[in-house]
Amino acid sequence: MTPLLVTSLVGGLIGAYLLAKTPAQTFMRVLPWLTLAATLLFAFGKKLAGKRASVLEHEATSSALVAATIFQFAVAVYGGYFGGGMGIVMLAMLAALGMTDIHAMNALKSVMGFVINGVAVLAFIIWKLVYWKSGLVMIAGGIAGGYLGAHYAQKTRPVWIRVFVVLVGAGMTVYFFWKSY
């Protein structure tokens, strides 16, 4: 887990820097394709992983851990830059690596997402890029959503959580295609 967390920290900071320095319109053109790929990867991640054991739930080989770390770095840069759909991308990566326990996947995704978003937010605060009136509303919504989401996810059958994630990903993909083209 340490390589994934360090990668999340560094990638999140790089993504925040990119957001501060590049126009958002450029990324908005790529975003629908990223959410589409992430949704498809999550939906079919079990098939891609086949019957092999998870590289994260069991002893990881060096090459599998390097692959996961490289993928997580790309996700962290993306998350520090935009963040929309980042959770689905991380769940897709974990599914492709063979993780099958949706609750364990959600826990790992939440920790990595906290690191990515945390470092990006700190950077934005230091760089004085936060519009606090909207930011405070988003903080309250994020805390409430995170708490309630985790609470209800623990009470929901994993198959329904997977269906929900795929539906949200598909909805986000359609929305971003509609908004960007």
**pLDDT exceeds 80 at position 50:** no
Helix (H, G, I), strand (E, B) or coil at 84: coil
Q: Residue 93: how many CB atoms within 10 A of its CB?
A: 26
Instruction: Please state, in angstroms and as integers, the Cα–Cα distance from residue 88 to each residue in 56, 131, 140, following that order.
Output: 17, 27, 22
- Per cent of the chain over pLDDT 90 is 45
pLDDT tens, position by position, 160-172 = 988 998 999 999 9
Average pLDDT, the chain: 86
Q: Can you give the residue ranges of every domain in the chain?
A: 2-180
| Per-residue model confidence (pLDDT) at position 44 | 82
Where does the pLDDT of residue 114 fall: very low under 50, low under 70, confident under 90, or very high at 90 and above?
Answer: very high
The predicted-structure confidence for 74-106, as pLDDT tens digits, reads as follows: 999 989 988 877 888 888 788 877 788 888 888
pLDDT (average), residues 131-150: 91
Place of tokens 């939440």: 110
